[in-house]
Structure 1
Amino acid sequence: MNKDNNIHPRVRNRRVHLANERTFLSWIRTSIGIMVFGFVVEKFGLFLKQLYLFTGKELPSRHGEYSSFFGVFLIFLGAFMGFLAFIRYKKVEKQIDEDAYQPSIVLDLLLIIALLAIAIFLIIYLIHSI
């Protein structure tokens, strides 16, 4: 009789579960980073408004609206990615216990789309600021 059959799957696969938890925490750090970046972008728009008022120059039209919209969007995106990371963590946890792991690229794809959207927005934002 094999002793491993009596051991709970979480104990038998503890290294894999710990790796899953580290991956989850990495996604949480990434989500927090995106949310912080959104906060900074929103506050940078406020800073630019104050700077234009202080220098007496006229603020370009709709300048602050873009940064506010984009900042709120990034905060929402970060929170949404954190939620998806938790769902992925629980799904992988169950798959590890059942020894039926299936890779998923949903979060990876969302991160790449977010990075591309950020890059495109920043390029357009900087071109219009010149």
Structure 2
Amino acid sequence: MSASDHLANKRTFLAWVRTAIALMGFGFVIAKFQIFLHILAHQPLTSTTLLGGVIMIIMGIATLLYGFYEYIQQEKELERKQFSPRLTPMIIYTSLLTVLAIALVVSLYLSTGI
């Protein structure tokens, strides 16, 4: 395969990295904001206070690891000059992030008491 194929694969990996950084950064902001709200309300921190932020950070880590896995697999396929879609890892990754996103929604719902 040509150099442009390898560079395209690298750009795709960097997109995964940017997405992971955004998720982890957003998780950090959520956690810090929850701490700030608890301090303003003079409430003690509980074990679920930071859960939303932690879930977002875990989603970011999962995204980074999956992006790296995809990058490595693509490089191997480029070297062999073949491509085969990998549905099972994508289904597992999507399912994992969906479960974490639902847990985040539930966590935020429970923490706001709406």
Same fold (TM over 0.5): yes
| C-alpha distance in structure 1 between counterparts of 2:40 and 2:48, whole Å | 17
The aligned counterpart of 2:8 is 19
1:73: Cα distance to partner? 2.8
AA aligned to 1:77 is M
Deviation at 1:36, TM superposition (A): 0.8
Gaps of 5+ in 2: none
Compare 65-74 and 24-33 and name the one that shifted more: 65-74
How far, CA to CA, are the matches of 1:117 and 1:15 in structure 2?
Answer: 35
Closer, same or farther: CA 80–95 of 1 in aligned 2, 3 Å:
same
1:110 pairs, out of 77, 88, 93, with 93
Q: Which amino acid in the other structure matches residue 101 of structure 1?
A: F
Q: Which moved more, 1:24-33 or 1:74-83?
A: 74-83
Q: Does 1:74 align with 2:56?
A: yes
Identity %: 29
Q: Take 2:103 and 2:55, find their aligned partners in 1: how far apart are those partners?
A: 14
1: CA distance, partners of 2:45 / 2:34: 8
Equivalent residue, structure 2, for 1:91: 73
Contact 1:27 1:82 (C-alpha < 8 Å) held by counterparts: yes
One-letter amino acid of the structure 2 residue matched with residue 68 of structure 1? L
Determine the C-alpha separation between the residues in 2 that align with 1:16 and 1:79: 26
The counterpart of 1:29, out of the listed 2, 18, 31, is 18
Q: For residues 29 and 43 of structure 1, what CA distance do their matches in structure 2 show?
A: 21
Asked which structure has the greater RCO (Cα within 8 Å, sep 6+), the reply is 2
Please tell me the residue identity of whatever aligns with 1:121.
L
Residue in structure 2 matching 1:48, options 30, 37, 49: 37
Distance 1:102 1:109, change over 3 A: same
How many residue pairs get matched? 112
